[in-house]
Structure 1
């Protein structure tokens, strides 16, 4: 039995931690609120009192919501107590924050690996994620026994952690466009009297067979936006990460401003804001 720390027990993190427990690991869990700890402790995990305690496990994995959460948890103080450990950060963060975290970890003697994931919560719980990882090779090797439990494949992208986050930002930006393309095409055919679900079935049996189209297409056609796999708030965050990265690399994103407006309208609507991010399609449906 190998000990691993796990910090951040949201929808994705809780499923990943359960996966590690089921694989027979000794999982030391920490979360900012205590509620998510209870089912994991009941399943065999141990609760850490502080982030530093979880980070001292030797290898620690984190799945926090955003830059602010990462900066609040991974302080100089918590990292100093974990010298010699490896921290695998699986969150989607800005490139600037990742670089600052790398500096902070290096100063504390903690190896930093960025390993954001591709996949929804059911894949997190079943070990079906794709993982894009970058960091010191020796640190990646130490983390591999856990990454292989959490994902079906780990893509190693070199020793610069921000590269892994850049790839995740690019994937999410592409996915955001997929949501909007589905919204527009489903809305178009519905207004012509064709059932949206039938259209999505045709679309995904012929031209588009990927999981984004089959999964999100069904949700949009049926207006089935619960349970929430990913929120519009996080979608807007990821869109803004893409815009920030594009500014750094002087890359044009002509449709980003339009998509930002759609996300902002989604979040201003109390009903839509509580649903899965694919509910952004309803903004297009309302526009005529």
Structure 2
């Protein structure tokens, strides 16, 4: 019996598998995000994306701009790609409608801009690592993985492993490696639509996680403007947050790996992402 998953295995590179895994976990990426994070040039990237599309591992769509024109191609995993990743991970096969449901979610849903923004943050880190020796995006979890029972619990802690349900809903969890130093972090990606007090209230869940696990990692608020960052900092100054909090804004050109992170616990002095290791426990 001809198994399409087996048939495409020998056609895939490690980079292809990374891309398919990202699309399976994180929904949608643009051609520019994929090129910056994984390829030496946009042309090289586009040729490989055409091949993966022809193999029916990924599919694409192009949203239209309200004022005319269109955005770059947006890529999602196709059904065969989803089945290939699930098989490689030893997971149960995705439901038959997985790819179609995902495509509808991103083409018709209102969450596309937010998801692309979150994914831009992580692909920017991956792009930085691709051109800077000694750096690596070692982990990138979606929100759904952060909410699983036992997430972040050490395997030897049998009491909590299957019982603890995290109260947090970050937009992502990452681990950044630079110069031999690992920094775990949570990302809160802000679009400017929520009241700032809502952002502050999210920290209660992180404080609960820290108390339960006896470990704490920085929470990064990635804000859409310097003014909004300053206003959030005012709310977080008195009283100071119970967990390490860093703010940054995406209005400037620096990478999120650079010294863009102002720490509440350090008088809002700015640090590189790798330097936030001193605030982990």
Higher strand share: 2
TM-score, structure 2 length as denominator? 0.31
